[in-house]
Amino acid sequence: MKTPVIKCENLTKIYKLGETNVQALRGVSFELYAGTYSLLLGPSGCGKSTLLSLVAGLDVPTAGKIFIRGEDLSGLTVDQLAKHRNKKIGMIFQQFNLIQSMTVWENVALPYVFAGMPLLIRKKRAMKLLELVHMEKYANHLPTQLSGGQQQKVAIVRSLMNNPWILLIDEPTGNLDSISANEVMEFIRQLNEKSKRTILLVTHNPDYCKYAQRIMYMKDGKILSIEGGKAPETKETRVKADELSEEALEKM
């Protein structure tokens, strides 16, 4: 049996707000395999963003366990958790989270700054990734000079900079008009299809079911059902997922 890329076991999350407890997750379990694209669909407040932040290692569960390719996140030190976030996870948010004082290519290259890579290598990879979304001509623009859809494309390729195993994407089109939203969703679909990224995308929009292979329905801190499904990873998907290599980039 193959090891899932993400395995969550009976996750509970309780936020303490003064005297009151808010139970955001109530026993969430699922497994995701390499190369699959899953949608986490549910109404506002049901715990979707909380679940992503736990898988990303940004916060810890109150109870339950998360395994990333078999490694228990609760066993990691603070440094190891930071590595987990930087190397294995790419995150994309509704608000893009670009740094306004930096140019487009500098924003994309930021994960390589943290990794201590030299300038030329940073710029080369950032430009290559910008070409993927046909944004290379905006490399020296500032984020404020771009439309929302363009800013989200910049944020998406920034998340690919460190060649992560997993993309965690939270309501990526919440701030976009419908044309830009469809472009962004289509690009994410291609990213899964061609470069075999494992994707978990959070949305409250049921129209997006058509993009993913698996739908996890969530309500009140629980997963109600999981529909669809794809066979666990094959040799081919594993090889392709290993590197978002130069060759893989050329093919996109």
Is residue 20 a contact residue for ligand ADP (CB under 6 A)? no
Four-CA torsion 123, 197, 188, 176, nearest 10 degrees: -70
Asked if 162 touches ligand ADP (CB under 6 A), the answer is no
Q: Which is nearer to ligand ADP, 49 or 198 (CB)?
A: 49
Q: Considering the complex, what minimum distance in angstroms separates the CB of residue 28 from ligand ADP?
A: 11
Q: How far is the CB of 49 from ligand ADP (least distance, A)?
A: 3
Nearer to ligand ADP by Cβ, of 51 and 126: the residue is 51
Binding flag, residue 173, ligand ADP (CB under 6 A): no
- Closer CB to ligand ADP, residue 93 or residue 112? 93
CB of 170 to ligand ADP, least distance (A): 7
Residue 59 in contact with residue 53, Cβ under 8 Å? yes
Applying CB under 5 A, which residues contact Mg ion?
A: 49
How many of the chain's residues bind ligand ADP (CB under 6 A)? Answer: 12
Q: What is the DSSP string of the chain?
A: -PPPSEEEEEEEEEEEETTEEEEEEEEEEEEE-TT-EEEEE--TTSSHHHHHHHHTTSS--SEEEEEETTEEGGG--HHHHHHIIIIIEEEE-TT----TTS-HHHHHHHHHHHTT--HHHHHHHHHHHHHHTT-GGGTTS-GGGS-HHHHHHHHHHHHHTT--SEEEEESTTTTS-HHHHHHHHHHHHHHHHHH--EEEEEES-GGGGGG-SEEEEEETTEEEEEEE--PPPPHHHHHHHH---HHHHHH-
Of 40-48, 67-75, 134-142, 237-245, which segment contacts ligand ADP by CB under 6 A?
40-48
Closer CB to Mg ion, residue 53 or residue 195?
53
**Which one of 42-50, 97-105, 207-215, 236-244 is the stretch in contact with ligand ADP (CB under 6 A)?**
42-50
- Residue closer to ligand ADP by CB (options 64, 232) is 64
Asked whether 68 and 84 are in contact (CB, 8 A), the reply is yes
Least CB distance from residue 24 to ligand ADP, whole Å? 3
Nearer to ligand ADP, 26 or 124 (CB): 26
Residue 237 binding target from Mg ion, ligand ADP, none, CB below 5 to 8 Å by type: none
**Separation of alpha carbons 149 and 180, rounded Å:** 5
> Could you say which of Mg ion, ligand ADP, none residue 61 binds, taking C-beta under 5 to 8 angstroms by partner kind?
none
Shortest gap between Cβ of 47 and ligand ADP (angstroms)?
A: 4
Contact residues for ligand ADP, defined by CB under 6 A: 15, 17, 22, 24, 42, 44-50
